[in-house]
Amino acid sequence: MDKREQDTIEGIKETRSGIRKYFHDVFNIRDDMMSYEEIDEMMEENTVIHGANMWILMMAALIASIGLNVNSTAVIIGAMLISPLMSGIITMGYSLAVRDLPLLKKSLIRFGTQVAISLAASTLYFLISPLETPTSEMIARTSPTLWDVLIALFGGIAGMIGNTRQKKGNVIPGVAIATALMPPLCTAGYGIATLQPQFLFGAFYLFLINTLFIMLSSAFIALILGAPRHKFISPKQQKRINRAIILITVITIIPSVYIGMVTVRDSVMERNVSSYLSEEFSFPDAQVVQSNVNKQEKEIAVSLVGTPISEDAVAALEKELPKYNLEGYSLRVTQNSMIEDTTGEDADKITIAVQENRISELQKELEESQGQVETLEKELKGFETAQNQVTDCQMLAQKAQTIFTEIKACSCGIMSDTEGDYVMVVAEVPEPLSEEEQSTITRWIQTETGLERVEILQKEVKEDIDTAMTQN
């Protein structure tokens, strides 16, 4: 081997060594780590129950409860930042890794006390709170999925690494927000206070998932860091604990996996239906006003307002369902005739069309099932009575055009569904109405008609140039 080849080989070795050193320095998990004695001391401190921590915990629980009650994400985040729940869970994981049974017992006692105090504080708050309606923040914490498991795992890893550093940085607050321990616990308190088991068990299940997988990931990182075993646990005890952990983990994760699968399936279904409606139901004189998917009966129900489409067109639309991965589903189209004009007669036409369409459906059902004759006749009479009592929507539309200058033309009618009567408004506007404008119009219509439900369909129309110049 000549000198040139030797130099080449040496250069390759140096390059490889440099690359290995670079990646070792970048991903060295023991860099800036506390000594094992310091870690042991910190974990021991995490098991101490004293007044300050408990008072902070109660305040965090009350703040989280208020945030959930008023649906404020910012307030909930604030409660998560000051909550001291995380440290106890990390200590439990560490004690498992180093086989320190006394430390595990003390950390379990402390954590159990914290859970009891948090539940008591949140339950007491929701018992005296005048706001009883569940918010979206509460509902979001009643259906844990596999993604919550992953969040807890990754959060526990980050939390354990951050807790064992000489310089803590901002890891701990970030982990506290990501893993969200306090909100589900307070939501469980809401379930207790309002006697709603779905909130109690759903939210507490999410809390257990977060707790378990933060603990397991903390134990894993403690082993990676090489924390010395205290050997306070006999091999027999260790086996029993390992079996118990595996059993609890499997039992805990199975429901979340199932819920996650259902969530994914529903999400895919909603996306497919949305694509189907947006691409196939594009008619110049008809609009989709409502759609519903019945998963049990495998039926997609679509309500159209506008010029009716033919039965052949409906059949053609149904044949397109497999194209959107909707095999096995049937299509049911409900149509309400509406003739576009500016004379103010649209209101009555929409209302009459709705009633006529429903009567037609009832007549078909009468022909198919003679056993339902009496029931259907009563229903028909009810619709006839409702027709005689319809609000003078023509006058209402004219008043709306006069009062609200942002509406160029307007028509409306009284519609009915399973939830009852509501006002359907078709408004021609030069530009989309703002949320404030829609809210103002809605309140005015509610006052005029006495009906709580109001739906506004906006049809954007551009003013012609001649009209605009005349106005100027």
Tell me if 353 is assigned to some domain: no
Assess whether 100 and 185 both reside in one domain. Answer: yes
Q: Model confidence at 187, in pLDDT bands (50, 70, 90)?
A: very high
Tell me if 5 is assigned to some domain: yes
Domain finish residue from 181, 199, 233: 233
- In the chain, the amino acid numbered 257 is V
Contact 445, 411 (CB under 8 A): no
Instruction: Say if residue 467's pLDDT is above 50.
Output: no
**SS3 breakdown of the chain: % helix, strand, coil, rounded to 5?**
65, 10, 25
Segment 279-288 shows an average pLDDT of 77
Domain finish residue from 207, 233, 259: 233
Segment 121-131 shows an average pLDDT of 91
Segment 429-455 shows an average pLDDT of 84
Q: What pLDDT does 115 receive? A: 92
Residue written as tokens 């008809």?
286
The model's pLDDT over 226-277, given as tens digits with 9 standing for 90+, comes to 888 876 667 777 788 778 878 888 887 787 777 777 777 777 888 888 888 8
Segment 99-109 shows an average pLDDT of 87
Instruction: Say if residue 347's pLDDT is above 70.
Output: no
What would you report as the CA-atom Rg of the chain, rounded to the nearest whole angstrom? 32
Instruction: Say if residue 46's pLDDT is above 60.
Output: yes
Local structure of residue 133 (DSSP, 8 states): S
Mean pLDDT for all residues in the chain: 78
- In the chain, the amino acid numbered 121 is A
Name the least confident of 166-180, 283-297, 394-408, 435-449. 166-180
Tell me if 64 is assigned to some domain: yes
CATH of the domain at 119: 1.20.1080
Assess whether 91 and 7 both reside in one domain. Answer: no
Assess whether 217 and 134 both reside in one domain. Answer: yes
Tell me if 457 is assigned to some domain: no
Tell me if 304 is assigned to some domain: no
Q: What pLDDT does 126 receive? A: 93
Distance of alpha carbon 10 from the chain centroid: 58
Q: Model confidence at 371, in pLDDT bands (50, 70, 90)?
A: low
Q: What pLDDT does 341 receive? A: 40
What phi and psi, each to the nearest 5 degrees, are found at residue 290?
-160, 140
Assess whether 56 and 41 both reside in one domain. Answer: yes
Q: What crossing angle do the helices spanning 73-82 and 51-70 adopt, rounded to 10°?
A: 170
H/E stretch holding 263: helix 235-280
Segment 91-108 shows an average pLDDT of 87
Q: 363-379 in b/e burial notation, b at 16+ Cβ within 10 A?
A: eeeeeeeeeeeeebeee
- In the chain, the amino acid numbered 250 is V
Assess whether 76 and 159 both reside in one domain. Answer: yes
Tell me if 12 is assigned to some domain: yes
Q: What pLDDT does 349 receive? A: 46
Q: Model confidence at 192, in pLDDT bands (50, 70, 90)?
A: very high
Segment 360-385 shows an average pLDDT of 60
Distances (CA, A) of 333 to 44, 83, 300, 308, 352: 67, 52, 8, 10, 18
Q: What pLDDT does 401 receive? A: 81
The model's pLDDT over 58-99, given as tens digits with 9 standing for 90+, comes to 999 999 999 999 888 888 888 888 888 888 888 898 888 888
Number of domains the chain is built from: 2
Domain that includes residue 19, residue range:
1-25
Distances (CA, A) of 430 to 427, 463, 467: 10, 7, 13
The model's pLDDT over 301-342, given as tens digits with 9 standing for 90+, comes to 888 877 788 888 888 888 888 888 888 888 888 876 543 443
Q: What pLDDT does 340 receive? A: 42
Q: Greater confidence, 449 or 212?
A: 212
Highest mean pLDDT among 103-107, 346-350, 365-369, 401-405: 103-107
Q: Model confidence at 186, in pLDDT bands (50, 70, 90)?
A: very high
Assess whether 19 and 79 both reside in one domain. Answer: no
Tell me if 299 is assigned to some domain: no
Q: What pLDDT does 338 receive? A: 43
Assess whether 83 and 149 both reside in one domain. Answer: yes
Assess whether 9 and 60 both reside in one domain. Answer: no
Q: Which two tokens stand for residue 122?
A: 């949140």
Name the least confident of 46-60, 102-116, 363-377. 363-377
Q: What pLDDT does 354 receive? A: 52
Q: What pLDDT does 345 receive? A: 47
Domain finish residue from 187, 217, 233: 233
Distances (CA, A) of 330 to 305, 312, 368: 20, 15, 19
Q: Which has the closest alpha carbon to 359: 336, 391, 330?
A: 336
H/E stretch holding 422: strand 420-429
Instruction: Say if residue 444's pLDDT is above 50.
Output: yes
H/E stretch holding 252: helix 235-280
Assess whether 4 and 46 both reside in one domain. Answer: no
Sign of dihedral through CA atoms 159, 163, 165, 168? positive
| Residue 306 backbone zone (phi > 0: left; psi -120 to 50: alpha; other: beta) | left
Residues 165, 170, 173, CA angle at the centre, nearest 5°? 110
Instruction: Say if residue 382's pLDDT is above 80.
Output: no
Instruction: Say if residue 1's pLDDT is above 60.
Output: no
Tell me if 262 is assigned to some domain: no
Contact 119, 193 (CB under 8 A): no
Contact 218, 89 (CB under 8 A): yes
The C-alpha atoms of residue 139 and residue 127 are separated, in whole angstroms, by 18
Which of helix, strand or coil describes residue 90?
A: helix
Contact 311, 288 (CB under 8 A): no
Assess whether 8 and 51 both reside in one domain. Answer: no
Segment 11-23 shows an average pLDDT of 76
Assess whether 101 and 149 both reside in one domain. Answer: yes
In the chain, the percentage of residues whose pLDDT exceeds 70 is 81
Segment 405-418 shows an average pLDDT of 80
Assess whether 126 and 38 both reside in one domain. Answer: yes
